[in-house]
Amino acid sequence: TGKLMYVMHNSEYPLSCFALFENGPCLIADTNFDVLMVKLKGFFQSAKASKIETRGTRYQYCDFLVKVGTVTMGPSARGISVE
């Protein structure tokens, strides 16, 4: 069985791409990482195109940064995120 890898993009770091491996390390690469993954289709199998997005408000109080947002998957809301 293979391990899962989640590829994420963050609007606060527009030039970076984050890849999280299941039970493993986190990889931070530039935005061309997506192009590399397309070229490695023989080694990696892409899951169905599910895009999860969080939109919300960012608050700053002294040294603390709190982000609250709504998590959506396609057209439907799935939950609330607090970071």
Long-range contacts of 45-54 (CB under 8 A, 24+ apart): 45/2, 50/74, 52/78, 54/81
Q: With 0.75 as the threshold, say if the pTM is over it.
A: no
pLDDT tens for 5-16 read 888 888 888 899
Please determine, for residue 60, whether its predicted confidence score (pLDDT) is greater than 90: yes
